[in-house]
């Protein structure tokens, strides 16, 4: 017994086998952790590929259904995309099923794809004695979008308030409003006006309608189908140097007075009178400034404003038929209220006659003001119509105002009679009590497409 007690005490004090015991006890956990890591990596890889294939299948099915395919054609397209996007698990028996489903407030307006694959994960199979099933779902909605036209459009790609209705403006015309800016406040309204008569409002970003101007309009946010219809065009040139001098005062006359019978008075007396302002005739060409202080009639053709201003003071008259203004090197547009204005653009045939290629001429037709895309632009451009029409003033501008680098402020009463007026600039502000009531005359519509129609699909689950 003494020998056994001594051996027992010696055994308890011995530490020479601790490492082996701890290693033996920890080995299952170590091997389990390694096995679990391998299984997890394989499961994640398979699940990721299966999810991608299901996403593509749902999108393909939605495209087919949205483009008008009926019956089970959408299922065929989903099947094709599912198979084409399998690689690692292509031979592992992955299965799927596509079906129509409701989404949001719509009915049968989405395609759901449910997919699964059975994975023989080494560690899980060893421990649990069975395989693991990986399941995924994907859902894509589809909707038809109409082509968008617009008479007011902002072209800046990122600016906040790129299209801004500020104050109490009235836009009472069946025209569209659009903005290419992706800002959350791409189109913004604030002020005292209420719902305007605008058909559609489309934005590549968000719409912040503080004044409720678009209460009766069809609106779409985050629309990626908008485009600049004049992008890539180079404005025509007319390098002939020109200047224009139109004084603002009339002609003075001093002479004998006449009676009602056009005979000299028996006692002649001197009179002083002021005749109406003379009308200047302007010719096409390149102007550093085209500032019209009196009345002017513009001959048909291309008027290039190089770095200065196209300016018309209030109280004067400006008439031009078949004209185009080209703004270069930061030129500014400044037309003031109270002026009698009638301007109409050139036709495609007139542009071709000046040497413009037919394809470009067709796109430039009805372009009244064309800012060179290489110009740095101008932040002070403004178009201020007549304050009212009771003082025999008319502010009649027809055609397209295209200023991709400038900010343009619209105010006052502006109308069009022949060709629908369309304003496209980097940023557009409709300010104060602007009254844009006849951007298209009765019976006319805008034909320039700024938003492509078609099918819109997106993943929602």
Each residue's pLDDT tens digit, 75-111: 999 999 999 998 888 888 889 999 999 998 889 999 9
The predicted model scores a pTM of 0.66
> What is the model's pLDDT at position 428?
94
The tokens for 161 are 């308030």
CA separation (Å) from 66 to 79, 106, 140, 146, 415? 17, 13, 11, 13, 40
Q: How far is CA 340 from the centre of its chain?
A: 33
How many other CB atoms sit within 10 Å of the CB of residue 20? 9
Task: Give the position of tokens 């299965």.
Answer: 95
Residue 191's pLDDT band (cuts 50, 70, 90): confident
Which of 84-88, 129-133, 137-141, 332-336 shows the lowest per-residue confidence on average (mean pLDDT)?
129-133
Q: What percent of the chain has pLDDT over 70?
A: 74
The tokens for 125 are 């199979």
Residue 278's pLDDT band (cuts 50, 70, 90): low
> What is the model's pLDDT at position 418?
59
Q: Do the beta carbons of residue 414 and residue 443 sit within 8 Å?
A: no
CA distance 431 to 407: 13
Task: Give the position of tokens 């895309």.
Answer: 373
CA distance 65 to 53: 18
Answer left, alpha or beta for residue 161, where phi above 0 means left and psi between -120 and 50 means alpha.
left
Strongest mean pLDDT among 9-18, 43-52, 156-165, 254-263: 156-165
* Residue 292 β-bridge partners: 312
The more confident residue out of 37 and 268 is 37
CA distance 27 to 86: 37
Per the prediction, the chain carries an average pLDDT of 80
> What is the model's pLDDT at position 140?
94
CA distance 293 to 52: 67
């Amino acid at each position: 017994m003494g020998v056994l007690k001594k051996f027992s005490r010696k055994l308890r004090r011995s530490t020479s086998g601790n490492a082996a015991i701890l290693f033996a006890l920890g080995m299952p956990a170590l091997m389990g952790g390694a096995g679990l890591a391998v299984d997890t990596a394989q499961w994640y890889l398979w699940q990721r590929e299966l999810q991608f294939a299901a996403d593509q299948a749902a999108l393909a099915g939605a495209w087919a259904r949205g483009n008008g395919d009926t019956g089970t054609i959408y299922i065929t397209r989903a099947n094709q995309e599912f198979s084409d996007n399998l690689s690692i698990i292509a031979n592992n028996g992955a299965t799927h099923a596509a079906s129509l489903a409701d989404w949001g407030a719509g009915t049968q307006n989405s395609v759901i794809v449910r997919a699964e694959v059975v994975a023989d994960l080494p560690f899980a199979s060893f421990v649990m004695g069975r395989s693991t099933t990986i399941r995924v779902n994907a859902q894509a909605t589809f909707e038809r979008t109409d082509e968008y036209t617009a008479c007011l459009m902002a072209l800046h790609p990122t600016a906040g308030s790129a299209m801004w209705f500020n104050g109490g403006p009235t836009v009472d015309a069946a025209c569209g409003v659009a903005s290419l800016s992706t800002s959350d406040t791409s189109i913004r309204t604030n002020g005292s006006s209420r719902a305007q008569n605008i058909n559609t409002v489309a934005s590549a970003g968000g719409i912040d309608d503080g004044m409720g101007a678009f209460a009766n309009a069809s609106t779409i946010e985050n629309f990626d189908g908008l485009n600049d219809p004049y992008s890539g065009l180079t404005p025509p040139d007319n390098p002939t140097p020109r200047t224009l001098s139109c004084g603002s005062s009339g002609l003075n006359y001093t002479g004998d007075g006449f009676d009602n019978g056009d005979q000299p008075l028996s006692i002649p007396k001197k009179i002083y009178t002021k005749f109406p302002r003379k009308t200047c005739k302007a010719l096409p060409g390149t102007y550093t400034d085209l500032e019209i202080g009196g009345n002017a009639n513009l001959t048909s053709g291309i008027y290039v404003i190089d770095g200065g201003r196209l300016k018309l003071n209030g109280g004067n008259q400006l008439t031009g038929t078949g004209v185009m203004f080209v703004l270069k090197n930061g030129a500014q547009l400044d037309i003031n209220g109270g002026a009698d204005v009638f301007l109409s653009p050139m036709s495609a045939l007139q542009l071709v006659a000046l040497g413009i290629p037919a394809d470009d001429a067709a796109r430039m037709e009805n372009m009244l003001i064309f800012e060179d895309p290489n110009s740095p632009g101008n932040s002070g451009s403004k178009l201020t119509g007549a304050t009212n029409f009771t003082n025999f003033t008319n502010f009649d501008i027809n055609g397209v105002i295209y200023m991709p680098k400038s900010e343009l402020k619209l105010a006052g009463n502006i109308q069009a009679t022949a060709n629908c007026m369309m304003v496209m600039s980097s940023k557009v502000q409709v300010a104060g009590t602007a009254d844009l009531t006849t951007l298209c005359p009765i019976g006319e519509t805008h034909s320039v497409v700024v938003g492509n129609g078609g099918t819109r699909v997106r993943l929602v689950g």
